[in-house]
Structure 1
Amino acid sequence: MPEPVVFRPRGGQILAWVAIVVCAASLVLILVTDGPLAVVLWSSPLVLIAWIAWLLYVRPSVTVSDGFVEIDNPFRTHRIPWGDIDDIDTRFALTVTTTGGRRIRAWAAPAPGIRRALATRREEVAESPGDGDTRRPSDAAGTESGDASLIVHRRLDEYRRTGGAGRTGGSVSTLGVARIAVTSVLLAASVVTLSLTLPHG
């Protein structure tokens, strides 16, 4: 049984980790210069920035396994069995359409920006999955949407070749309650902190 393949976004990861490191360093600097009380006061906005950077650009993923493709977005996780996949598209991001017509976009695999799309040559998408008329710059190898789409297409084709097609339904979406709660708490604490520390007119 092949190991699951996990695809994570590349573009924002470096910036996200830089933001996280800067926030951590800022807390250390505040501790050294202003003491523990200042750290307590400013921890919520700095932790919120680091948390959002991690939530949006580090945590999201697309996991491809024998039984399903799992799309983990910032606040919701979708597990889609291979038999429930009707179509795969990359127009705005890797998008899986279920047999019931539901379209699920992957935060981890966005389509390239306008500059990258305009610079894409026809031969770069020639080997991409799909018909020639429907291939887009977002299908090109080297783009996040294109690379993720290729992985998903290959495993889906393998599933269908081995006779697994036909078992529709079974997709499950789970709300990330803990992630929403942490975000809400940090956001509320940050608002309180800023209202207490910023000068009022």
Structure 2
Amino acid sequence: MNESVVLRPRFGIVITCLVWAVVVVCCIALFVQGDGFGALRYLPLFLLAGYLCWMLFWSPAVRIGTAGVVLRNIARSRDVSWAAIRDVDTKYTLTLDTPAGRLSAWAAPAPSRFAGMRAAKAELGHLPESTYGPGNSVRLGDIPSSDSGLAALHVRRQWERLRDAGALTAAPLEGTGVTTHWHRVELIVLGALVLASVAAQSF
């Protein structure tokens, strides 16, 4: 794998774009009306709504690269090396079993049962070996057309390729193989918007 693959929930992207469009329209309306007090009071609330939507539905992602998998969730990211992955699960969302515990991806939820009923049988063929259960069964969350299934497909392909090449055991695992990074800047911005919204309502 020469380039990283970044996956985000498709429904979340649509929701974020719609909310941002509403926020922009509301902000423009405030200034067009020329009500300075109203703009000062409600603008922080609109910005907070748009920012929260971005944090919940756009910012989270699953990045699959040469060094491993990055699970970017709402408040923090977990960098997981390939050697640290012991199993890949998709019961509720993409979940990696590691020495640091089971790590879930907010950006790769499993589909509903209705979505699973619409899955074509052609989707279930030629998947990575570790996808299949007893009797070549495929879990609902492993359907490639779903967010969890697409992420698991990319992860399993690279993980199995490295495993079969002996790369996962070639070097000893340092620690748990998992590094955590908190999204400090994003959390500070969120806190500032919350404080600004509360302060604006006190006028």
- The TM tier, using the shorter chain, reads 0.7 to 0.9
Which string of whole-angstrom CA distances, capped at 9 and with x for unpartnered residues, describes residues 109-141 of structure 1? 101124324555666445444233363111012
- Paired residues in the alignment total 195
SS at match of 2:107: strand
Aligned to 2:177: 170
CA contact (8 A) 1:126 1:132 kept: no
SS at match of 1:40: helix
Aligned identity (percent) is: 28
2:161 matches 1:179: no
2:22 matches 1:19: no
SS at match of 2:54: helix
CA contact (8 A) 1:17 1:53 kept: no
Structure 1 residue 24 displacement after superposition: 1.3
1:140 and 1:16 map into 2 onto residues whose CA distance is 24
SS at match of 1:27: helix
Q: Which runs of 5+ in 2 are unaligned?
A: none
Deviates more, 1:187-196 or 1:133-142: 187-196
Paired residue for 1:190, among 194, 197, 203? 197
Aligned to 1:199: none
1:40 and 1:128 map into 2 onto residues whose CA distance is 54
SS at match of 2:71: strand
Deviates more, 1:147-156 or 1:158-167: 158-167
2:155 matches 1:137: no
SS at match of 1:34: coil
- RMSD over aligned CA atoms reads 2.0
Structure 1 residue 101 displacement after superposition: 4.9
1:159 and 1:37 map into 2 onto residues whose CA distance is 60
SS at match of 1:69: strand
Paired residue for 1:152, among 150, 155, 161? 155
1:112 and 1:128 map into 2 onto residues whose CA distance is 18
Q: Which runs of 5+ in 1 are unaligned?
A: 197-201
Which string of whole-angstrom CA distances, capped at 9 and with x for unpartnered residues, describes residues 23-82 of structure 1? 011111100113344222211110011001111111111111111111111111010010
Aligned to 1:161: 164
CA contact (8 A) 1:78 1:172 kept: yes
Aligned to 2:108: 109
1:138 and 1:83 map into 2 onto residues whose CA distance is 23
